[in-house]
Structure 1
Amino acid sequence: MTGGPVARVLVDSPLPQLDQLFDYAVPARLRDAAQPGVRVRVPIRSGGRIADGWLVELAESSEYEGRLSELEDVVSEVPILTAEVWALVRAAADRAAGNASDILRLAVPSRYVRVERAWRAATPDAGELPVAPAPIVGYEAGRVEAGIADGERMSLAADPRPVRLPDGTWVGAWAVTLAQAAVHALAADRSSLLIVPDYRDQEQLQAALAASVDSRRVLRTDARQSGGDRFRAFLDATGPLARIVIGNRSTVYAPAARLGLIAIWDDGDSLQNEQLAPGVHPRDVALIRGEQSGAALLFLGHTRSVEVERLVEIGWVHAIPARRHVRPRVILTEQQSSPEPGSARIPSAAWRQAQEAVRTGPVLVQVARPGHAPLLVCDRCREPARCAACGGALVVPRSGGDPRCALCGTSGSAWKCPVCEGTKLRAATVGASRTAEELGRAFPNARVILSDGERPVLGVGSEPALVVATRGAEPIAEGGYRAVLLLDGERMLLRESLRVAEDCLRWWSNAAALAAPGAPVFLVGVAGALATALASWRQPDWAATELEARRALRFPPAVRVASVTAAPAMVERAIEAARAAADGVDALGPTGVDDGLDRAIVRFDFAAGAAVAKALRAEMIRVATERRRPVAGRPPKRPAVLRVRFDDPEVP
């Protein structure tokens, strides 16, 4: 047992066998600087390398019997990894069988020495706390405020309309609701974390907060900031003052003094899915952090995700009903066999409404995809048309002519449907650019505005205009849109995904919520339960029905899943380890993927999650540390691969 100051360090490494705390002696020259939460550099005995790491905690002694290596250096001057954030990161990594250092790279921005030193020299000034904040409107009086004060987990249906702020800015009513909730927490001297999908939502939320709280109390963290600004905001969040921190999915890990509220807008948006390992969804991180900190948790959206519906049904999250005075006027329409001249994909009733509405203000046209070329499907059974050579989608070239493969360029003139053997094709969707061109010709006196990922538009005025936008890129309009046309619904539903219906309902609902009160919203070419849920604005009922169907099939989120990718023998061994760890574990597959690897989907109940994660984690460490003897005369083998992804959003 070694005595004296001992630094317990997490080495910044992707290797699973290094995902633990290692003990290092603290030399006399570093004892003042070596504080919990600072970045350090430490020697790694294998290979004599020096690695980066985090000093997580200090101890009086070590259980290690030998001589401890010493810290090489203390890199940062400020402890920025708080004990609360470390506990959260460790729990989130364990839940997903991942490395804590991978999550820390997401949670903590890159260090800027000049910014750090300027921050240390500055005197913190965040203005006064709000007094007598405005009530949270749209719900039972005082209900949401009481839930925030009591640390309750809540699901709220957002008010589906645009609202005007005192400075004249127009935002979605949801942004005002989140801002009001955060201000109530701040008035009690408690911090809030507000997580939204992208910068468009951040702009609206920041505008709503500016109307009711000192801007010095609001911190913004997102990838569009410069590195120095983002690091400065992170340093401010580590201080003792209560703050409101807004940003995208990584904001859920931000430090916060006396955390009182974690709120997520539109948790079902695919932009909320963390793409980097270990891929923990901010919704799951928020649930962990709420439990650890006692902070209130708020899910807000125009639709309720199936994951949140499961939490509501088991009583873990409480659904707070909204007092809806208005809701979008959704009109369901089937595509006409003989549309009016120039309307192409727009039924006559919607066409006439658009012609009338555009005289008084903006009209929104939502389409499925950007670009110009239409995507083709079988005219008889609507099976997507794919290239016989490479499997790519068949499209019509912009210059016209026969259909061709979008990937390899092979002609599709001899295409034959593999399902019904039909040979006729029809356009399932037209890109935003082509739609804008068609509408520009049909409405020669109206200004046409195009908004997509390449040409984003955040807002439009109240002047007459046709706004053609891809899903998720719809700008907010002053006073709301005078009419909304939701096109390509049939094409959107052709996407091969377990969540396609849920995603479509969310896309349509978010677009419908941009309409002015009483303005018509036309859903074109879609019928059935999904369309009825939109028209009646009863999305939670649809989520409940969808969850019940997934329970019958043992699909997520009724159960948890983990994808396991490796050589065939390793996949089988990993599956057996998971089955031995808990009862009720089953597997789908394995099936072959690239480079001679197999992939299997392991399914298990939520109660078995910790045991399955531990077992699969042990397999990952075993594979990573297994030594393979070289064979004389043969090139060395590639290192073995075992990839595990819990709650994989790509699982169909």
Structure 2
Amino acid sequence: MSRENGSGAGEGAGGGVPEPEQLALIRDSVRKAKVPRAKPRTWRGAALAKELPVARVLVDKGVLHLDRYFDYAVPEELDEVAQPGVRVRVRFGAGSRNVREGRREGGGLIDGFIVERCAETDYTGPLAALAQVVSPEPVLDSGLLELARAVADRYAGSLADVLQLAIPPRHGRAESRAASTPPPPPAAPDPGSWRRYGHGADFVGALAAGGSPRAVWTALPGPQWAEEIARAVQATLASGRGALVVVPTGRPAARVDAALTALLGEGQHALLTADAGQERRYREWLSVRRGAVRAVVGTRAAMFAPVRDLGLVVIWDDGDPNHSDDHAPFPHVREVLELRAARDKCGFLLGGWSCTVEAAQLVETGWAAPLVADREQVRGAAPLVRTVGDGDLARDEAARAARLPTLAWRVVREGLKHGPVLVQVPRRGYVPRLACERCREPARCRRCAGPLEAQEGGAALRCGWCGVAEAEWHCGSCGGFRLRAQVVGARRTAEELGRAFPAVPVRTSGREQVLDTVPGAPALVVSTPGAEPVAEGGYAAALLLDGWAMLGRPDLRAGEDALRRWIAAASLVRPQGVGGTVVVVAEPTLRPVQALVRWDPVGHAVRELAERAELGFPPVSRMAAVSGPPEALAGFLAGAELPPDAVVLGPVPVRDAGPGPARRPGAAPVGEQWERVLIRVPPGSGAALAASLKTAQAARMARGAKGAREGGAEAVRIRVDPPDIG
């Protein structure tokens, strides 16, 4: 297969590393006749390196039709530093459209990585020379390259896009300060609280002995989970191997970091989070790549951390949406760590207080073993859960007047005698959404049809999109003039509770200000899901309000996500043996509510998996979402050679989020009409589906479809395994 010079615009591709089988499907569709290999010609008379004068470069052009390697000549003066894995600058596409793009990026020079050095090239013209070696630090080794290629092919994306996620930006000062000498391995730990689980001690022992167990771990409520992860990491380090832990946000990363420091001391692990800043994050990343640090704790991007001799990968709370990257090709941490566990033959631990359907599938297929506590341990660690349904609310005068049922008031009053009380509210803000009290029709702005919002202090309604005040609203459907809150926000709830309990401090935790911890003194803590602070000694009680708002979302994962968020909040409450109580305001007959009452997230996930298997929904099947303008989408589907067992669902209009809310990946640009199709294939055809979509998108970009490169009006966007198919 021929390879290209950076100054050309041919169709060749190449690479010296093993590639997944599905990539062959793409390569077959663009394969050209081989040409005889030739020694590189000197470029403008420059002297070339005497040995291996060809550098095979991956250019940082995240477009699919350029997802290949390009050959460049190595000048003699760069011979010593131009080694595989280093960052370089090259001229790309001289005399072609690519040069014009390159000038916009910096005078015709673009970034890239040297993949390998060769003695010959199969490009027949004169080779352009490397322009610059940015740094002699090799940041891309063969293992990371193979992993990135596998991820790109699984998600129908480009290798350059994956490497942008995998390798942090360079910081020159950090390269001289990164550590290079690894500390001695620690001693094997005592299993500690792992003994609470059926095979917990055996799991830790197997890691310490050099084994590679794979487990789905349903953690008991309480704060011990961070120390339990730290003990699993210590056991892996004791066997002379490395460990990688990925958590959804910086707050749990800090807890695991503190637990590891307490067990191992300073210098034994690295913390890779965006909060660390560019210099520190790159310095820590380099220490890991050099082998000076063998354990890593981090957020999403840490899933690619180049840990030496990897012995264990851990993901905590895999259902959290922060584990799914919002940049192309949208990889999910769970899937990437599964790839790493299979490639490196290392241990795998998926943990959380709840259990996702994907985790249940790993156990059902036998890929991982369950790691759970018996029912006696669960009952001893979990709080008492009580429910308030629609019938109770209808008969409750207090609930009709103040939105909180009498049972909730009693639990709050009793809990405040012993400590803080947590109140979980599905939405932040004051009153994000209003509806007609008579017919429940959403209240919308007469100017732009945006949602109307109530303001603090009794001010006039205001549009959440255009900001125009609405003083004389009436319902266009029934003519009503009275409004009700669809979902009351956290600030409004805090205001109501503050009036009801004037002597008790009220704290809020949400997007504007997320609290990490709160004291153990009596207080009301109002929080949105995922922002709940940890209370010293645990919360005395918790209220889970407006459960219908989470359960009523038109999404396949609505019940699973609601249960996960409820259990995460309830796990911060004291055990029922010392009075810990949780009140959930939701219909008690619904399956997620019953799973919370019984504290049985695994049973809920198993039943959800069985239902999805009957309907052919993910994760039993593989699915891709393709969205774009109607004509562009129809043309893309007509040119895509989908697997014969693929089922195309749609097209349907993409929901218009309007100009106000943040856009999700694949959402239509403001003011444009887009459609979306879902393409479903049975197990075993996922690789073929990704390959066919990648080939069709690459061909479309190579033809120069209008807007295809810039993401304009004719763009078609692909997302494999979309998290939201509702």
TM-score over 0.5 for the pair = yes
Matches within 5 A, 1:156-171: 156-161=217-222
Which amino acid in structure 2 is aligned with residue 600 of structure 1? V
The question of 1:499 aligning with 2:557 is answered: yes
For residues 395 and 439 of structure 1, the distance between their equivalents in structure 2, rounded to whole angstroms, comes to 20
Which of 671, 682, 691 is the equivalent residue of 1:605?
Answer: 682
Distance across 2 between alignment mates of 1:224 and 1:210: 18
- Which among 238, 245, 260 is matched to residue 209 of structure 1? 260
Aligned to 1:80: 139
- Equivalent position amino acid for 1:54 in 2: F
Which residue in the other structure is 2:290 paired with? 239
CA contact (8 A) 1:366 1:485 kept: yes
Matches within 5 A, 1:182-261: 182-261=233-312
Question: Contact between 1:490 and 1:525, CA under 8 Å: does it hold in 2?
Answer: yes
CA contact (8 A) 2:270 2:293 kept: no
Separation in 1, partners of 2:516, 2:397 = 32
Residue 180 (structure 1) aligned to one of 231, 234, 239: 231
Quote the residue 1:651 is aligned against: 725
**1:562 is matched with which residue?**
624
The 1:139/1:61 distance shift into structure 2, 3 A limit, reads farther
> Separation in 2 of the partners of 1:242 and 1:339?
61
1:558-637 to structure 2, matched below 5 A, reads: 558-578=620-640, 580-589=642-651, 591=653, 595=672, 597-626=674-703
Tell me whether 501-510 or 41-50 shows the greater mean CA deviation: 41-50
Residues 1:131 and 2:187 are matched in the alignment: yes
Structure 1 residues 46 and 588: alpha-carbon distance in aligned structure 2, compared to 1, 3 A threshold: farther
- 1:532 paired to 2:594: yes
Which secondary structure does the structure 2 equivalent of 1:46 belong to?
coil
**Runs of 5+ consecutive residues of structure 2 not aligned to the other structure:** 1-36, 40-50, 100-107, 655-667
Structure 1 residue 392, shift from structure 2 partner: 3.1
1:368 partner SS: coil
Q: Residues 405 and 411 of structure 1 are in contact (CA less than 8 Å); yes or no, is this contact kept in structure 2?
A: no
Distance 1:252 1:412 in 2: 53
CA offsets, 1:518-553, max 9 Å, x none?
100111133221100001011111112222333333
CA shift for structure 1 position 212: 0.6
CA shift for structure 1 position 561: 1.9
Give the drift of 1:612. 1.7
- Distance in 1, Cα, partners of 2:331 & 2:463: 36
Of residues 7-16 and 42-51 in structure 1, the stretch that sits farther from structure 2 once superposed is 42-51
Cα distance, 1:236 vs. partner? Answer: 0.4
Change (3 A) 1:412 1:507: farther
What is the root-mean-square deviation in Å for CA atoms of aligned residues? 2.7
Partners in 2 of 1:329 and 1:46 — Cα distance? Answer: 70
TM-aligned CA distance change 1:29 to 1:305, over 3 Å: same
Q: Distance in 1 between matches of 2:402 and 2:321?
A: 31
8 Å CA contact 2:363–2:369 kept in 1: the answer is yes
What residue in structure 2 maps to residue 153 of structure 1? Answer: 214
TM-score by length of 1: 0.90
1:456 aligns with 2:514: yes
Query: Residue 620 of structure 1 aligns to which amino acid in structure 2?
Result: Q
**Alignment equivalent of 2:500, drawn from 413, 434, 442:** 442
Report the secondary structure of 1:212's partner residue.
helix
The residue number in structure 2 matching 1:164 is none
- Whether the 8 Å CA contact 2:84–2:115 is kept in 1: the answer is yes
8 Å contact kept, 1:35–1:55: yes
CA shift, 1:474, in A, is 0.6
Secondary structure at 1:603's aligned position in 2? strand
2:227·2:256 contact (CA, 8 Å) conserved in 1?
yes
Deviates more, 1:263-272 or 1:445-454: 445-454
Equivalent residue of 1:616, what SS?
A: helix
For residues 465-491 of structure 1, the C-alpha deviation after alignment (integer angstroms, 9 at most, x for no partner) is 111111111100111001111112122
Q: What is the alpha-carbon distance in structure 1 between the residues aligned to residue 704 and residue 568 of structure 2? A: 53
Is the aligned partner of 1:57 residue 2:57? Answer: no
Give 1:459 deviation, angstroms. Answer: 0.4
Secondary structure in 2 matching 1:110: coil
Greater mean alpha carbon deviation, residues 532-541 or residues 21-30: 21-30
In 2, Cα distance between equivalents of 1:403 and 1:555: 42
Residue 373 of structure 1 deviates from its aligned partner by: 2.1
CA separation in 2, counterparts of 1:511 and 1:628?
A: 48
- Hey, what does 1:427 align to over in structure 2? 485
Q: Quote the residue 2:612 is aligned against.
A: 550
Partner AA of 1:89 in structure 2: A
Is the 2:629–2:713 Cα contact (8 Å) retained in structure 1? Answer: no
> How far apart, CA to CA, are the structure 2 residues paired with 1:345 and 1:488?
9
Over 3 Å counting, the alpha-carbon distance change for 1:643 and 1:15 in structure 2 is same
Query: Is there any run of 5+ residues in structure 1 with no aligned partner, and where?
Result: 162-171, 630-636
After superposition, the Cα gap between the structure-2 partners of 1:381 and 1:282, relative to the gap in structure 1 and judged at 3 Å, is farther
Show the 5 A alignment for 1:57-456. 57-119=116-178, 124=181, 126-135=182-191, 136-141=194-199, 142-145=201-204, 148=207, 149-161=210-222, 172-323=223-374, 324=377, 325-334=380-389, 335-336=392-393, 337-340=395-398, 344-373=402-431, 375-377=433-435, 385-386=443-444, 390-400=448-458, 405-408=463-466, 409=468, 410=470, 413-415=473-475, 425-456=483-514
User: Aligned partners of 1:207, 1:422: CA distance in 2, in Å?
Assistant: 56
* Amino acid of the structure 1 residue aligned with 2:336: V
Q: Partners of 2:180 and 2:364 in 1: how far apart?
A: 48
Matched-pair contact (CA < 8 Å) for 1:147–1:153 = no
2:66 is the alignment partner of 1:18? yes
Contact 1:372 1:431 in 2 (8 A): yes
1:313 Cα deviation after fit: 2.0
> 1-side partners of 2:704 and 2:255: how far apart?
54
